[in-house]
Structure 1
Amino acid sequence: MPQLNPTPWCAILIFSWLVFLTIIPPKVLAHTFPNEPTSQSTEKPQTNSWNWPWY
């Protein structure tokens, strides 16, 4: 039964993991976000209450 021979499958597994670990992480880490987050001020904005008649 050829599927029980670990020689080619082990080499394919190791080679594919080496490819994944050397090519994909730099591409993912080089990704930049279009909008960088900005820090919010610590002051709370002034909000006016609504004065609606509910009748």
Structure 2
Amino acid sequence: MPQLNPAPWFAILIFSWLIFLTFLPPKVLAHTFPNELTTQSTESPNTQAWNWPWS
């Protein structure tokens, strides 16, 4: 039974992982976000108390 001989299957496994690790990461890392991230300001917003007319 050829499934019990690990030599060709192990080589196929190693070569396939080498192909995946050499071609896929640059393609995945080349993607960019469509919107640039903006940092939030550290200033707190100016909040005022509400004037409730019924209280």
Change beyond 3 A, Cα 1:2–1:53: farther
> Which structure 2 segments of 5+ residues have no match?
none
User: Please, which runs of 5 or more residues in structure 1 have no aligned partner?
Assistant: none
**CA deviation vs aligned residue, 1:1-55 (integer Å, no higher than 9, x gap):** 211101210111011101110011001111100112111111011234443758x
Q: How many residues of Structure 1 are paired with residues of Structure 2 in the alignment?
A: 54
Structure 1 length-normalised TM: 0.78
Identity %: 72
Q: Tell me which moved more, 43-52 or 16-25.
A: 43-52
Alignment of 1:1-55 (within 5 A): 1-50=1-50, 51=52, 53=54
Root-mean-square deviation over aligned CA pairs: 1.9
